[in-house]
Structure 1
Amino acid sequence: MIQEILGLTKETSTSTQPIYSGDMMKAVLFGGNKCVEVKEVPRPKVTEPNDAVIKVLASTICGSDLHLYHNAIPEMKKGDILGHECVGIVVAIGSNVNTIKNGDRVVVSSVIACGQCENCKTESFSLCDTTNSSGLMEWSYGQKTAGLFGYSHLTGGYPGGQAEYLRVPFADINCLPISEEKLSNDILVLLSDVLPTSWHACELAEISNEMKVGIWGAGPIGLMTARWALLRGASPVIVVDKIPSRLEAARSIGCLTINYETQDPLKVIKETYPRGLDAVVDCVGFRYAKSWTHAIERTLKMETDSIDSLSECIYCVKKGGNIAIIGDYLGYANHFPIGAMMEKGLTVRGGQLYCQKYWKKILDMLVSNQVDPSFLITHHYNLEEASEAYKLFDEKVNGVLKVILNANQREE
């Protein structure tokens, strides 16, 4: 709708538009604000020679899926299939697919890359030039970034992985074959997004030994970023949030914590570390306003994004320090402390994950038991129970961190 009003080109890439087999499958569909529905929809089949079709075994609900759940991302359409994190079994491949075969268990990247463009060749896979034909994104940001599964027509309109089957374009680059039988689907599905995104956060912030690190947001991404930071030798690692169970999870892996509802993070950090933190990571994003100012302005559509957390990051990091923005931001925000950012000489970097760049390295660490992310997984639901799972995850109750949706539980 927005693209039509602005006279922009709709998605036209043939790799976006699936061809259906005539068989049916269950999938989690966007139904509007705080509404998801599980319905029977046509099952995809191989459309292009570089496609694969995956029988999904497990998917997850991501924190960024809640932006869709709250109808906060433009270009969502009722009936769109949700989900961008999944693991499954290959059931069909196109004639040009070489690195996977039918029967392989594979992790699917949340970011859809072509593997051949200039950005893909430099392993900047989320900046792929090929896989997203959204005119609205180009109009909004100046250039288009990569397509994403199940994440609105702003990112290409690809059907997502919260379904019994998924078509994967450019399968050689977007599927990671798994031969290690000891790794569960619960752990492997984290390779789609959580593990490489949090590793990417540490790369952006250049976190290394003995650095003092602050992490805003104790969701799965924030907690795993903290875990990676500790593994890299950072000390201390301070996690800022307000949910007691999540702060306890941060303490359980060796972090210090600040509950921003009872303590002022800036005051605590300045009193404890007068020079400021070496690096900070914003894992919160645009939809969570702490101040009345941003809450009111977002409600009145005077801005799309709240930057309360990012502003705190800017004030708490040391002069010459590093800031990584890994929480999702969408459009524009008021009251941005650009003066502090410039005068303090900060390095600020952001961006979606380079999944394919990191996942083999992370897989090796999982196999060798260098890292265990199982503490993130708290709840399991069958695909048919997605509405209940989304509600739980959105309300952040009962200690919820990562919710696994199990697919293909019925007999074929």
Structure 2
Amino acid sequence: MKAICWHGTGDVRVDTVPDPEILDPKDIIIQVTASGICGSDLHLYDGLMPTMEAGDIIGHEPMGIVVEVGSEVKKFRKGDRVVVPFVIACGCCFFCQKQLYSACDTTNPGADLAKVAMGQAPAGLFGYSGMLGRYPGGQAEYLRVPHADVGPIKIESDLPDEKVVFLSDIYPTGYMAAENAGIEPGDTVAVWGCGPVGQFAIQSAWMFGAGRVIAIDRVPERLEMARVHGRAEVLNFEDEKIHDRLIEMTGGRGPDRCIDAVGAEAHGTGSLDAVVDRAKQAMHLSMDRPHVLRQAIMACRKAGTLSIPGVYIGLLDKIPFGALVNKGLTVRTGQTHVQRYLAPLLEKVENGEIDPSFVVTHRIPLEGAPDAYEKFRKKEDGCIKVVIKPGMASEQRSSGDITISSEMIPPAIAPLA
């Protein structure tokens, strides 16, 4: 089969690799019909994630059709249409029993590597480094799915792929970010980063009763999406001093809840700490650029909450921990416990409460992924979310890109009363 493989910094290729096989009676094999390129895939593309090896198959946002079923699988049959969560969980361990699926104790073959870096090992993930299991990812024609009865959700309606594929990651991730923020009715929520996870965090903040949502980015298309589809007030950090504006907009108090949907590669144009971060990263003295995290800690109101869905990789420098402690902030973070959210969030899609396809800007065949990675990384051509469709006919390739406009895409959620 063909698959997107990592070969080093800025180097992903379409390789021919062996087809996946059933390795355990609890496995299924799916033929991938859609798979997203995620912002956290860019951490691999930029060479920031340790324990990657040339030839690793990447991608962790897949869905498709079941084509093989292990002998112990009870929930699925050939021909079923499924979305596969990026977290691989056993369903039986201490953490899975508490629905803390991304902390699963048994699914990470790279546990020893992870323990050195993190103290304990999280769950295995699709398409993501040796310390997270080196499971072949979903940017491929076929995918082996371990622990199938615990992971995928069956799609029994005729909803198109683009309305459900993001249940694999970014929709539950944005939703859990809003849940972790502890939003109370009427709260002001500030969201740093208007990429796909940030967009779903904005949508979800309203679902939890936010009174205001303020979205922060510098990319015009992302800010416009947050304004039109997220009904957010928007701030461009290249044009405004974010801390000062947030304090001003909240009457001197600061946002009640802050969500860092950026993570390891914050830009922070013009600020001294961001310049130092970039220099240290370039010299391999640091893995992460935590400008947004610092800014959120300083801006958040006293006794507020900071939620961090953005991916961080290693040790962070110059974090204002004294401010965090003395302001009495609550911090919640973690990889998403995707399995916990699949059924309730699918119900929201089926009921028309949200149409997750609003984030899609580019649709491409598998062969177009290397160019799409570079376009996504550089934020060119209005690229916010790429969906790879391995079965896309060659004659469709030239018309795969679309342009964002408020007229083309219906609002993601209905206006609040």
TM-score in same-fold range (> 0.5)? yes
AA in 2 matched with 1:280? C
Q: Percent identity, aligned pairs only?
A: 42
CA separation of 1:409 and 1:250: change in aligned 2, threshold 3 A: closer
Is 2:222 the counterpart of 1:239?
no
CA distance, structure 2, for counterparts of residue 386 and residue 79 of structure 1: 15
Contact residue 215 and residue 226 of structure 1 kept, 8 A: yes
CA distance, structure 2, for counterparts of residue 387 and residue 334 of structure 1: 32
AA in 2 matched with 1:157? R
- The equivalent residue for 2:147 is 170
Decide which of 118, 137, 149 is 1:160's aligned counterpart.
Answer: 137
Contact residue 215 and residue 234 of structure 2 kept, 8 A: yes
**Equivalences for 1:24-173 in 2 at 5 Å?**
25-134=1-110, 135-173=112-150
Contact residue 208 and residue 229 of structure 1 kept, 8 A: no
Contact residue 179 and residue 208 of structure 2 kept, 8 A: no
- Name the SS of the counterpart of 1:115 in structure 2: coil
CA distance, structure 1, for counterparts of residue 46 and residue 289 of structure 2: 15
Contact residue 364 and residue 392 of structure 2 kept, 8 A: no
CA distance, structure 1, for counterparts of residue 72 and residue 57 of structure 2: 26
Deviation by residue 1:149-170 (Cα, 9 ceiling, x = unmatched):
0011120010000000000000
AA in 1 matched with 2:373? Y
- The equivalent residue for 2:227 is 251
AA in 1 matched with 2:95? N
- Name the SS of the counterpart of 2:7 in structure 1: strand
CA distance, structure 2, for counterparts of residue 39 and residue 297 of structure 1: 33
Decide which of 274, 284, 299 is 1:301's aligned counterpart.
Answer: 284
Decide which of 326, 339, 342 is 1:356's aligned counterpart.
Answer: 339
CA distance, structure 2, for counterparts of residue 208 and residue 87 of structure 1: 34
**Equivalences for 1:337-348 in 2 at 5 Å?**
337-348=320-331
Is 2:163 the counterpart of 1:187?
yes
How far residue 307 of structure 1 moved from its aligned partner, in angstroms, is 1.2
Decide which of 250, 258, 261 is 1:283's aligned counterpart.
Answer: 261
CA distance, structure 2, for counterparts of residue 410 and residue 370 of structure 1: 32
CA distance, structure 2, for counterparts of residue 399 and residue 188 of structure 1: 22
How far residue 208 of structure 1 moved from its aligned partner, in angstroms, is 3.3
How far residue 84 of structure 1 moved from its aligned partner, in angstroms, is 0.4
- Name the SS of the counterpart of 1:49 in structure 2: coil
AA in 1 matched with 2:266? Y
CA distance, structure 2, for counterparts of residue 209 and residue 74 of structure 1: 41
CA distance, structure 1, for counterparts of residue 184 and residue 143 of structure 2: 38
Decide which of 349, 357, 379 is 1:374's aligned counterpart.
Answer: 357
CA separation of 1:292 and 1:409: change in aligned 2, threshold 3 A: closer
How far residue 302 of structure 1 moved from its aligned partner, in angstroms, is 2.6
Decide which of 300, 304, 315 is 1:317's aligned counterpart.
Answer: 300
- Name the SS of the counterpart of 2:216 in structure 1: strand
Point out 4+ residue stretches in structure 1 off by more than 3 angstroms: 408-411
Unaligned runs of 5+ in 1: 1-24
- The equivalent residue for 1:398 is 381
- The equivalent residue for 1:10 is none
> Where is the strand percentage greater, Structure 1 or Structure 2?
1
Contact residue 133 and residue 144 of structure 1 kept, 8 A: no
TM-score by length of 1: 0.92
Decide which of 210, 220, 223 is 2:196's aligned counterpart.
Answer: 220
CA distance, structure 1, for counterparts of residue 278 and residue 77 of structure 2: 50
How far residue 188 of structure 1 moved from its aligned partner, in angstroms, is 1.5
AA in 2 matched with 1:344? K
AA in 1 matched with 2:192? W
How far residue 289 of structure 1 moved from its aligned partner, in angstroms, is 3.8
How far residue 410 of structure 1 moved from its aligned partner, in angstroms, is 7.0
CA distance, structure 2, for counterparts of residue 298 and residue 37 of structure 1: 25
Contact residue 162 and residue 356 of structure 2 kept, 8 A: no
How far residue 300 of structure 1 moved from its aligned partner, in angstroms, is 2.3
AA in 1 matched with 2:85? S
